[in-house]
Structures are given as C-alpha cells and as structure tokens.
Amino acid sequence: MSEKWKKCLNISVCKSYGFTFEREINEYIDYFNDCSDEKYCYCKVYEYLGDIEQAVTIRNRLAHGQWKIQLNSNESNLASEEITSFFERYDNIQKLDLLYKVYKLIAEIISSYVVYKDKVLTNNFKQEIKDKIFKIENYQQRIMKSDFDKYCNKFYEQEIQERKCKKDIYKRKDT
C-alpha cells in the first residue's frame, strides 16, 4: 500500500516540477538540486510514506477479524515484530488521533504538489510544505512524549464539572 502512496507522490512531484514520470523509478531524489528545499521536502515526505504500510496492514488485519492473533500473509505464523511494534507505539486513542493528523497532513502535502500554482515564482509553496513537515514532526514528538493519564484526566475533570452543573440545576428546581 505504501508503494501506491509513493507512486502518487512521485506522479504529483513530476507533474509539479516538470520531471518525466517513469514507472520503474522509485525515487526522484536525484532529479533535485543538491541541498535544495525541494529535495529536503520530497525526502521527508517520502520517508513518512514508509510508516503508512504498518498502519494499513494493521487496519486490514483488524477488519478481517484477526484481533487476538496477527497472522502473516500465509496465515501460518504470527506477524512480524514490525507489526506488533506498531501496537506498542500507538497504544492509545491519543496517539492514534495524532497519527491520523500526520496522515492527513501527508495527503495535504501530496495534494499541494498537484494543485498549487506558481511554485517556482514564489516561496509560498516551499514554505507551506515546510510548515506541514514541521507540524508532522511536532505531532511525532507529541506521540513519543504523550502522557495518556494526563490526556484522560482532562476528560475526567470535564465530566466532573458537567455533573456538578447538573446537580446545581436539579437543586435549583427543587427549591
């Protein structure tokens, strides 16, 4: 699945910068000038696409009922450590929500390559892509440093406040 995302990125980058798209080329890194912002952005997004494979594999296995035992494609062995490490890394809803935001930003970047006009004439395009990459890196840091208890505590406090307000409303009705 990540190969399809990479192909989509490559097609959009080729369209964007006037490169000739060739199916047998997996990466277009060499097409950019050395140390250019465009090359940096392309490399970062290409790197992020590698992470998508695990998420898609996990989603497909869960969708097909492999809840307790993650099988490999032959349905003979447990899945690789790579897949189980995904569960360890994204072990709560807070992390999964941040991961969703990362994937959404990746899709926005690919879309920007296709639809943004005047890429060469202005720095707005480069800055927009860099800003999105910065947000992705920020989300990844937040995933690594997240504190689920603190995250849940916020909702717990909110629930207590709502219950207190409801009690106050009922007390007023009784008097």
Q: 78 pairs with which residues across the strands?
A: 71
pLDDT at 70: 59
Please determine, for residue 116, whether its predicted confidence score (pLDDT) is greater than 80: no
Report the pLDDT averaged over residues 45-70.
76
Give the model confidence (pLDDT) of 136-170 as tens digits: 999 999 999 988 888 888 888 888 888 888 777 77
Q: Count other C-beta atoms under 10 Å from residue 134's C-beta.
A: 12
Asked if 55 and 103 count as a contact pair (C-beta separation under 8 A), the reply is yes
Query: Comparing 69-73, 115-119, 123-127, which segment has the lowest mean pLDDT?
Result: 69-73
pTM of the model: 0.74
Confidence of residue 123 (pLDDT cuts 50, 70, 90): low
Run of H or E including 32: none
